[in-house]
Amino acid sequence: MFGRQSRAAWAAGLLVGVVGAGVLGGTPASAVEGDQPQDGAYSFTAKLDIGGKQSCSAALVDQEWLITAASCFADNPAKSLKIAAGAPKLKTTAVIGRTDLNSTGGVVANVVELVPRDDRDVVMAKLDKPVTGVTPVAIGSTAPAQGEELRVAGYGRTKSEWFPNRLHTAQFTVGGVKATSLDLVGKSADAAVCKGDTGGPAFREANGRIELAAVNSQSWQTGCLGANPAETRKGAVDTRVDDLVGWMQSLLSRGLLSKANWKNAEYLASGYFTGGSANGTRRMDLLVRWADDSVTLYQGADHSDPKYPFSAVYKLADAGSTFKHVRAITAGRFSADGTDGVIIRWVDGEVSQYTHVDAKGFHDEKMLAKPKNGVWENAKLITAGRYTGNALRDDLLVVWVNGSVSIYSDLGANALGKETQILKANSTWTHAEQIGSGEFTGSRTSDLMVRWSDGEGTIYSGVDTAGLHGEIMVRKPKETWTNAKLITVGAFAANVVPNDVLVRWSDGNVSMYTGVDKAGTHAEVQLVG
């Protein structure tokens, strides 16, 4: 494997405790010396052919992204591991999900972009097409501990083959743990990291779950075919990735929203569904009901790039699902357990509450109003917010078709609680097209944002059971917001106050206005389009 110091330094014995140098050698060989996994095992491992001159291993961490060692692409890794971001200098082909390279399974794709780290031997490699049928490996966020066992995989040489055709793996024990790397020692006499294994994954296995902890970087190559026969030192140095989750998510987020046709988004709801919280690092999630009646959940990211506020996407309902009957939806905290759920007004007037929503779906359904009740068929818009100061549950604010506005407080498990009409029927509020609850002004209760039919955007900074107070115009009438077809309020750019407003426009583009407050909507970040 590659060494970080010069050949002269290595020869002088200055790499004690580190791994030796040496170029990556001609054509590929087959990974780690050890056992041969069964077909289909560890299918997230990939083999890289770099210009037909050298070979490395990698791991699939997303449908369109691999992680591997930057040294695979360095001009002279014995002198420097730095590489330029962008397209690789040499055509690079990846074979993913093919335990036996002689088979036809898996996916073959080209690497079209490299995004390296400057502080360690690691690079993210973007593929020219999504990989389907192969589950990416999860990224562990826990630092490897001394004495912990990790399995290492790759397509490099073995002790008897220059060009193996199968994936190999071996068990290693973590020795020293440094800021960006860790030392590995083979558990068996034959365990070794060989040429061609560079960039391959080192991962933990527990309770049926696999988590990536590091990627192969350097090795003494003792026991590998073609290694220095006088070398007796063993072990390897791997590059840690557990502290790179945020950086990796920021890359995986790129293009996440643009994969969908947002003209088909018909309902939006935002909340902390997948483990985020106002006190944590993960941003708010976004729930979307599409025109084909499917439902998608976009998980909020925990990195700081506002251009990519979501890090993962999950399908919660397929096309043609019962969610075709949705006529209004809002998200909020409706239970004391600290998780967010949704309230839905269905086409027949039924009102349902799901006390929790996550990546696996909707949970704990409660009927709050029966179908065909003669009242809720007239609920035009709904939004959940902290309007009464209840510390445990949100309230429900409703705009009715006749222009009246109500707040339902003290929502119970099977009831809508107490209704307080805060505005009588009027012609003005029949022009309310979109509403959303948020924190914009620092008032003691949630603020209410309204997008009117003429495009005006208004914030009410004081909303409680006594009425609507503190009206602030943040977007003028008859301007761009006449084309704002959907809005939702949330902490999408950062978990801070004031909140952001996400807008789906009539042309299918999506924007986010960050840090909206009484002075206006401020910076617009284009997310789609």
Domains of the chain: 23-246 (2.40.10.120), 253-528 (2.115.10)
CA distances from 127 to 14, 67, 92 (A): 38, 11, 10
**Above 70 in pLDDT, residue 17?**
no
| Band (252; pLDDT cuts 50, 70, 90) | confident
Q: Tell me how many degrees the CA angle 12-15-16 measures, rounded to the nearest 5.
A: 105
For CA atoms 371, 372, 375, 380, give the dihedral sign: positive
**Above 50 in pLDDT, residue 188?**
yes
Looking at residue 91, what is its pLDDT?
A: 97
**Above 70 in pLDDT, residue 149?**
yes
| Band (345; pLDDT cuts 50, 70, 90) | very high
Looking at residue 35, what is its pLDDT?
A: 63
Tell me the C-alpha distance between 286 and 309, whole Å. Answer: 10
**Above 50 in pLDDT, residue 6?**
no
| Band (284; pLDDT cuts 50, 70, 90) | very high
Range of weakest confidence among 133-147, 153-167, 282-296: 153-167
Work out whether strand 265-271 and strand 45-50 pair parallel, antiparallel, or are unpaired.
unpaired
Tell me the C-alpha distance between 104 and 516, whole Å. Answer: 53
Average pLDDT over residues 418-447: 95
- The chain-wide mean pLDDT, for the chain, equals 88
**Above 70 in pLDDT, residue 268?**
yes
**Above 80 in pLDDT, residue 20?**
no
Looking at residue 413, what is its pLDDT?
A: 64
Average pLDDT over residues 412-421: 83
Range of weakest confidence among 64-68, 212-216, 299-303, 383-387: 299-303
Any residues with CB less than 8 A from the CB of 126 and at least 6 apart, and which? 64, 65, 111, 112, 113, 114, 115, 251
On whether the CB atoms of residues 126 and 262 are closer than 8 A, the answer is no
**Above 70 in pLDDT, residue 29?**
no
Average pLDDT over residues 392-408: 95
E strand or H helix at 290, and its extent?
strand 285-290
Looking at residue 495, what is its pLDDT?
A: 82
Cβ atoms within 10 A of the Cβ of 469, count? Answer: 12
Give residue-wise pLDDT tens across range 316-336.
999 999 999 999 999 999 887
Residue of higher predicted confidence among 282 and 289: 289
Residue the block writes with tokens 């020219």 = 128
DSSP 444-498: SS-EEEEEETTS-EEEEEEEETTEEEEEEEEE-TTSGGGGEEEEEEE--S-S-SS
Q: Can you read off the two tokens belonging to residue 1? A: 């494997």
E strand or H helix at 10, and its extent?
helix 7-11
**Above 50 in pLDDT, residue 8?**
no
Average pLDDT over residues 256-268: 95
Average pLDDT over residues 417-442: 95
Average pLDDT over residues 416-423: 93
| Band (5; pLDDT cuts 50, 70, 90) | very low
Tell me the C-alpha distance between 75 and 34, whole Å. Answer: 30
Residue of higher predicted confidence among 508 and 26: 508
Give residue-wise pLDDT tens across range 435-475.
999 999 988 889 999 999 999 999 999 899 999 999 999 99
Looking at residue 410, what is its pLDDT?
A: 77
Looking at residue 161, what is its pLDDT?
A: 84
On whether the CB atoms of residues 204 and 108 are closer than 8 A, the answer is no
Q: What is the pTM of this model?
A: 0.75
Looking at residue 222, what is its pLDDT?
A: 85
